[in-house]
Each structure stands twice: as C-alpha cells, then as structure tokens.
Amino acid sequence: MQWPGNLVEAQLRASPEAIRLYAEITRDFNPLHLDAGFAAQTPFGRPIAHGTLSLAVLWEAIAVTFGPDVRPAAAEMRFLAPIAEGALISATGTRAGADDPLAATMRYDFTVSDEAGTQALAGFVEIAGGGADAAS
Amino acid sequence: MSAGTFEGAPLRFADFTPGAYLGEARVVLDRERFERWRALFPAAAQVEKAPPGLLMALFMYGFAEAFAPHPDGNIHAGQTLAFTGRSLRAGDGARVSVTCREKEVKRGRNRVRFEARMCDDAGDEIMSGEMVVIWAV
C-alpha cells in the first residue's frame, strides 16, 4: 500500500444544524453546544461544537484519502481550543515517517483547525492498511 | 460508587475514586442515528458499516450514559483511541463500560481520566480509549 505524504483535507461547517445533528447522534445536549444564553455565561461566550464533531472531520479526511475500507488503528490527541458555532472545521495530516509500501500501519500527525488557523485539535493517528475491517 | 445509571444531582469531582468501575450502558446503532450521520457526512451514504466517526459518536453516547448524570459545562480535553477493526451495522447493539483511572486538580481545574471500552453484543471489542475530562463541578 502506498502511503501519501499528506491527508486530503476534509472540511465541515459547524453550523447550528450540524451541531444539533451531532447532539442528537450522541445524545449530548450539553447547553455549551446548543444554548447561546448558557454559552454566553461561560468563558467561550458563544456555543461551541462538540470536540468529537471536530474529530469526525479527521476521520473524513482519512476516508477521502484512503477510501472507506481503510481505518484508523489508534490515535492520541489533545483538544486545544474550541470550534465556535459557525466556523469552518478543517482537518489535515502529514505522514510522520518515510513511505513504506510494506508497512501494515502508518502514523500521520494531524491538526484540526478553524478558518482563522486556530488549532482545535492536534495529535497523531495510526492508520491500518486495507483489510482492517475484516474482523467485523 | 456503584455501577449503573444515576438519577438526580450531577456527579461531582469528589464522587470519583481512581480505579473504580463506574458502570456500563447498552447502545444501539439505530437507523435514525445512521441517517443523521449521513446528513452530516453525505459520503457515508454508500457505507453499510459504521465509519469510525459514527463509532466514536456511539462510544461517547455510551460513555455519557454509563454513569449519568454529567454536569453541564464539562470539557473534553484529551483522548486516546484504539480500534480493533470491528464495526457495527444499523440495528446492531454494543456495550460501553467505563472506569475512572485518575483524577487530579491541575492549574485549578478538576481533571478526570476515564477508560472506556465498547464491545459488540457478542462481547468482542470494537474500540477502547482513555479520555481526559475537565469536570465542571
């Protein structure tokens, strides 16, 4: 398997509708994400996207780069800053080592940012080559 | 702290004991969830098995349900994940179990590290991970 130098960038607008959909999927109705009045009383000042909604954009970048059958094997990350409601979430990644077509997994360092360049999420993901879904 | 779903006042930082098992929740990847996921990420329209992001969403739901109620204002600060390659189809169920691994006050914030594991109904692991949460109360 060829391991490209960079992940294809994926994007998602953190619209109120997108945040609401994600809240319904996770049943996480924390008012920090959904209630402008509540969020205004917090240090964030306005609703913010769920951290794992931002992370979902990274999984999309992986799927766009490698196809739906290639899966993450492991990941580690820190949530550095919130993504404000309405922001454009972008996920990118760079291969951490030399390309090795025989490698079963490959590490990519990634960031998830808004359009102002503020990093919301950073870490690494190890991607398993084709066949990682065979167990299911 | 006993296992299971709680009702009443939100859990507080003081309630957690490192090493304590917190509970388990059964979750189902119902079709409505899958359709909402496809509304968010249309590229998933042709996918029969839950993609990693949807597994993660289900994992977070199970985490929240395993030892509810959580207070408003918690912040997800860090995460490790390990995927086995197993997935779920619409209609499949899974169980998410949660253990408290560590808690500390750091720079005036209450940080709790949890370990969670999601297994399918046959008991085979789908994914696991540790998450650091800034606990609000």
pLDDT in tens, B39-60: 999 887 778 899 999 999 999 9
Asked if the model's pLDDT at residue B63 lies above 50, the reply is yes
Does the structure's ipTM exceed the value 0.95? no
* Whether the predicted pLDDT of A134 surpasses 80: no
Amino acid at B66: A
Partners of residue A25 in chain B, C-beta under 8 Å: 33, 36-37, 40, 54, 57, 61
B134 → chain A, closest CA residue: A79
**Out of A69-78, A127-136, B71-80, least confident range:** A127-136
Peptide linkage before B69 cis (omega within 30 of 0): yes
DSSP state of A13: E
Residue A136 carries which side chain, given as an amino acid letter?
S
Quick check: B117 pLDDT over 70?
Answer: yes
**pLDDT reported for residue B2:** 39
Q: Kindly list the residues from chain B whose CB atom is less than 8 angstroms away from the CB atom of residue A105.
A: none
Average confidence score pLDDT of chain A: 92
Q: What was the pLDDT predicted at A133?
A: 43
Q: Do A26 and B124 touch (CB under 8 A)?
A: no
pLDDT, average across residues B88-92: 94
Query: Could you give the 3-state DSSP secondary structure of residue A26?
Result: helix
The CA distance from B131 to the nearest CA of chain A, in Å, is: 10
What percent of chain A stands above pLDDT 90? 79
The shortest C-alpha distance from B2 to chain A (Å) reads 23
Residue in B40, B57, B72 closest to A30 by CB: B72
Q: Which residues pair with B23 in a beta bridge?
A: B98
Contact B76 A52 (CB under 8 A): yes
For B55, what's the count of Cα atoms within 13 Å in the CB-facing half-sphere? 31
Q: Chain B residue closest to A82 (CA)?
A: B75
Q: Is B82 left (phi over 0), alpha (psi -120 to 50) or beta?
A: beta
- Looking at residue B7, what is its pLDDT? 61
Nearest CB neighbour to B36, from listed A21, A50, A63: A21
pLDDT of residue B44: 76
Is the pLDDT assigned to residue A132 strictly greater than 60?
Answer: no
Taking contacts as CB-CB distances below 8 angstroms, the residues of chain B near A59 are: 51-53, 56
Three-class SS of residue B59? helix
Whether residues B43 and A12 touch (CB distance < 8 A) is answered with no
Cβ–Cβ below 8 Å for A135 and B84: yes
What would the mean pLDDT of A72-82 be, rounded to a whole number?
96
What order do you get walking across the sheet with B93-106 strand by strand? A10-13, A88-95, A105-113, A119-128, A71-79, B75-83, B125-134, B109-120, B93-106, B21-28
Note the pLDDT of residue B40. Answer: 94
Q: Which residues of chain B have a CB within 8 Å of the CB of A26? A: 57-58, 60-61, 64
Position A118 scores a pLDDT of 95
Q: What pLDDT, on the 0 to 100 scale, is given for residue A1?
A: 85
Position B32 scores a pLDDT of 93
Mean pLDDT, rounded, of chain B: 91
pLDDT tier at A135 (50, 70, 90 boundaries)?
very low
Amino acid B137 reads V
- Taking the C-alpha atoms of residue B31 and residue B92, their distance in angstroms, rounded to an integer, is 10
Q: Does A120 touch chain B (CB under 8 A)?
A: no
Q: Is the pLDDT of residue B133 over 80?
A: yes
**Out of B72, B79, B126, closest to residue A31 by CB:** B72
